[in-house]
Amino acid sequence: MELILERGLEHQQKAVDAISAVFKGVTITPPTLAYQNPTFLYDEQCISANIRMLQRNIREDYRHNANPDTGHYLNLDIKMETGTGKTYVYTQAIYELHKRYGFNKYIIAVPSLSIKAGTRQFIEDKYVRHHFADDCGYNCEIELGVLESPKTKKKGFLAMPAPVRDFVSGSCQNTNRIYVLLVNMQLLTSGKMLTRSDYDYLVEGFYRPFDALRATKPIVIIDEAHRFSRAQKAYKTITTELQPQMIIRFGATFPEIIVGSGRNKVTVKDYNNLIYELNACDAFNKNLIKGVAKEHFEPLSSKEEKVKIVSVIAKTSANFQLRRQNKSPKTFTLEAGDSLSMIDSVFEGIKITAIGKNFIELSNGQKKYQGEEFNTDIYSSSYQEQMVKLAIQRHFETERQNFSGRQFKIKTLALFFIDDISSYRKSDDEKAPYLREMFERLLKEKLTELISNLPPEEDEYREYLKASLADIPGCHAGYFAQDNSDSDEDIAKEVDDILRNKKGLLSFVNKDGSYNVRRFLFSKWTLKEGWDNPNIFTITKLRSSGSENSKLQEVGRGLRLPVDENGNRISNEEFQLNYIVDFTEADFAQRLVDEINNEIPETTKIDSNELDRIAIARKIDSTTLLVELLTKRYIDSHMNINTERRNEFFAEYPEFTSGVKSGKVTNRNKKNNSTIKIRKAVYSELKELWLAINRKYYLFYERELEAEIPNVLFEILCAHDTFARTTVYSQREEIKVNDELGKMDLKDNTGVTYTIDKPLNYSDFLQKISQQTSIPITIIHSSMCKLAERKAIENDVINEYSAAQIVSKFKDWKISHLQTRFRYAQSQQPIAETALTYKDGQPREVIKQGVIGTMLVPGTPSSKYLYDAFAFDSPLEKDNIMTDISEVIVYGKIPRSSIAIPTIVGENYSPDYNGPLVKTTF
């Protein structure tokens, strides 16, 4: 499989063109030495003029450098949202600057090893080289040198690092070669490799690597600009030691600085000649990245047990207080190296690694300050298990659609961020990795369930799942920073697959023809930035802390649009990233919305094109709309927005607001309340059919069954797996595009339900079973007493899960024994209100969008369609409802759960195919 690169994507080409345009008309001086870049004057007036021209379409406050750079080099900033192809852009920019101006010495600085590995893989890939050489017509190649940490060496000959030597000595007179040196931040700031001057051989007259690199007059490209603030040592090393002619910073976010003083002090982004901006708003609106669906579970209990850091004794110990509802607080004193499990067992595996002046650092990477409180629930293994279970469920929902629901399959991946490595890898004390064992158990359960329930037409997917079930350990892999020094061969192979074998992860088949089942990845935020795989559809943050990090950065690993099994990027569909957090980040989606919208400048004026577009949408002419706005004093004669009335203006005319389109972020815990109109004339064509399928029927059983119930119930109670746990609920929020230019809003959707330990009062337990099975409470109690004579029943198993199990097993017995012992009889009662009609039989005005589809097709449906908008849940469904068949007179999608058929288990069955109601000429 090859990843198919697309040439000339507008959002990428604009960035490359912007960089090149900076040098339009600028004097470029040929090098005097073969190993040097051509040179230019960084302060030439022509460059300033070109930059001002390029900044015309950038928001006003971003055009001016808040902290002007005084260095003797040119700085350019390129802002591109995560997942939109920054690595591709700066690689093409390298080729383009070489082609136009002859620059061929570049140093790429990255903040981490994972980003370094991803960049190296991309630039060295044979297909990528052919793409730029052949498809893009550059007719040259990049010679990449990768600077690595020096290995321990025996005494003797000391050679200058080969990548430095090759980079420096490469001749600029070789027009078919571009020299690029890739280096990570740590190598710039620590060690003697680049600063020492005692190497045995010099390079171009230099013994010190930094001096030799500086002499090439390089261009430096910085990836992930927010990690290289100008106050940091790494950035200062670049400017003082390398002294480049130009620094080009690429990033989705940039460092923040404080400008002004006193009351005028404000925090701003440290942009320095920002010449291209593709912000998150544009990326979402133009469908360049996936949407986001946030989901979380509520706390397991309402006790709100918390731990507070009462005081920190600098560098020696810390005093904690465990606060529980209706109980006296308990105080604990812990030192560095102690485990928090001394306070509560839920903190198993988390230790204090360091103690500062007023804070402690934990082994999960978190820093907690004196006076800070944190909940115990999110550290509970039961709570964590529900998050993993939810992640697995969401993964397979997506994977099944990506595998069976399209012409070319999409390999679907999931990523887990964890804080305790020993929970996944075996520790030195041989302690069982509980998270790994729990994950494999839940995965096995889910695979078994899916395999048994798949229809015959999904045989290929069934075989893929069977291969997964046969190799559970092969389904997942992990990468952590400590793996870079681990000698274990199996771990090394996992790391290699994750960091370097992107194509392998995206493939369904291994080289030997067997299924490649690896698709669940575990990491400790090591893969947070830089590493990317386009087919990440689910990210789960286990034991997260509700940090103040950029929410866009956190979801960034999953925003990239996916590729299919042939390597083609799929950009003509809407995809969604499942993002699962704990309840301390319940507001994650809203904060993500706010972060994206904060990047959009406040609208101060409307233009004629915007006026025309909105007038058409409102079905009036633009002159009428203009008069309305002027009359209401929302704008002046120059179409400037009246600042005193702007809130009223946007409330009445929300189309004029700018920002991310509503619907891109959704909450799965809440329901979608958007409505769609029902066309009454169309409904009249379907009325007869709709009333027929909504007639009520009763179900009658044989009288002899009553005597069998007590024995059946007792057998169910005796089963070994009947008594166990209870229920928790998740909440989900999504971001999606539904309108044209509205601010980003949260769209709500439904979450999921799981089971964990939680006891029930015995009387409630009996009543719950009776209500759901129609078995009298006296019979249930009698059977429980009979069971108690046989074996002891613990109080904690008298819970909601056990009740649900009894109900479920009784239903199973009904299904297996009552198939021929019942009959239906039509009710004589009149048809009550339905999903499409009121009690009087008249059609409803509207129906909730969520009951017929989560996504909308732009435009107006044909006159045959029951609703005034096309709503759908999958690409296949979208194609079906938009197909125009001449024989069809009228059609419409059946609302979810609107058709109820009584069943022998005492419930109503609603057909789940969500198919159409159709009237044809046949």
pLDDT of residue 889: 78
Which tens digits make up the pLDDT trace of 367-377?
788 888 877 76
Place of tokens 């389904």: 475
User: Mean pLDDT across the chain, nearest whole number?
Assistant: 83
Find the CATH number of the domain harbouring 520: 3.40.50
Q: Are residues 403 and 507 in the same domain?
A: yes
Terminal Cα-to-Cα distance of the chain (whole angstroms): 47
Give 722's pLDDT tier (boundaries 50, 70, 90): confident
Determine, yes or no, domain membership for 889.
no
Determine, yes or no, domain membership for 877.
no
Minimum mean pLDDT range among 335-349, 439-453, 698-712:
698-712
Residue 516 has pLDDT above 70, yes or no: yes
Q: Are residues 36 and 80 in the same domain?
A: yes
Minimum mean pLDDT range among 343-352, 591-600, 653-662:
653-662
Rank 361-370, 493-502, 651-660, 677-686 by mean pLDDT and report only the highest: 677-686
Write phi, then psi, for 79 (nearest 5 degrees): -100, 120
Q: Are residues 189 and 310 in the same domain?
A: no
Distances (CA, A) of 220 to 67, 149, 238: 20, 20, 8
> In which domain, by residue range, is 632 found?
608-657
Q: Residues 205-219, buried b or exposed e (16+ Cβ, 10 A)? A: ebebbbbbbbbbbbb
CA distance 296 to 732: 6
Average pLDDT over residues 719-738: 69
What six digits make up the tokens of 892? Answer: 């419409």
Burial of 481 (0-12, 13-18, 19+ CB in 10 A): middle
CA distance 540 to 581: 6
Place of tokens 């390597």: 567
Strand partners, 664: 735, 736
Write phi, then psi, for 747 (nearest 5 degrees): -110, 130
pLDDT of residue 912: 46
Average pLDDT over residues 144-157: 79
| Residue pair 225/250 in contact by the 8 Å Cβ criterion | yes
Per DSSP, 203 falls in state B
Give 546's pLDDT tier (boundaries 50, 70, 90): very low
| Residue pair 752/737 in contact by the 8 Å Cβ criterion | no
Average pLDDT over residues 32-49: 94
What six digits make up the tokens of 452? Answer: 């048994």
DSSP for 648-668, please give it.
HHHHH-GGG--SSPSEEEEET
Q: Are residues 432 and 545 in the same domain?
A: yes
Give 331's pLDDT tier (boundaries 50, 70, 90): very high
Average pLDDT over residues 285-314: 80
Q: Are residues 87 and 143 in the same domain?
A: yes
Give the residue from 379, 395, 429 where a domain finishes.
Answer: 379
Which tens digits make up the pLDDT trace of 813-854?
887 877 666 667 777 777 777 888 887 788 888 887 767 776
Of 421, 420, 403, 424, the C-alpha closest to 412 is 403
Determine, yes or no, domain membership for 272.
yes
Determine, yes or no, domain membership for 207.
yes
Q: Are residues 159 and 263 in the same domain?
A: yes
In 3-state terms the chain splits into helix, strand, coil percentages (rounded to 5) of: 35, 20, 40
How many distinct structural domains can be found in the chain? 4
Minimum mean pLDDT range among 172-181, 426-435, 557-566, 626-635:
426-435
Per DSSP, 721 falls in state T
Give 504's pLDDT tier (boundaries 50, 70, 90): confident
Rank 209-223, 739-753, 780-794 by mean pLDDT and report only the highest: 209-223
Average pLDDT over residues 636-662: 73
Burial of 196 (0-12, 13-18, 19+ CB in 10 A): middle
Q: 391 Cβ partners below 8 Å, 6+ apart?
A: 414, 416, 538, 540, 578, 580
CA distance 694 to 831: 7
Q: What stretches of 40-178 show up as alpha helix (H) in DSSP? A: 45-54, 60-63, 86-101, 113-124, 126-130, 162-169
SS3 string, 566-606, reads: CCCECCCCCCEEEEEECHHHCCHHHHHHHHHHCCCCCCCEC
Per DSSP, 624 falls in state H
Q: Are residues 269 and 336 in the same domain?
A: no
CA distance 50 to 22: 5
Residue 276 has pLDDT above 70, yes or no: yes
Burial of 176 (0-12, 13-18, 19+ CB in 10 A): exposed
Give the residue from 567, 597, 627 where a domain finishes.
Answer: 597
Q: Are residues 359 and 401 in the same domain?
A: no
Q: Are residues 328 and 388 in the same domain?
A: no
Please give the sequence-ordered ranges of beta strands (E in DSSP) within 738-803, or none if there are none: 747-749, 753-756
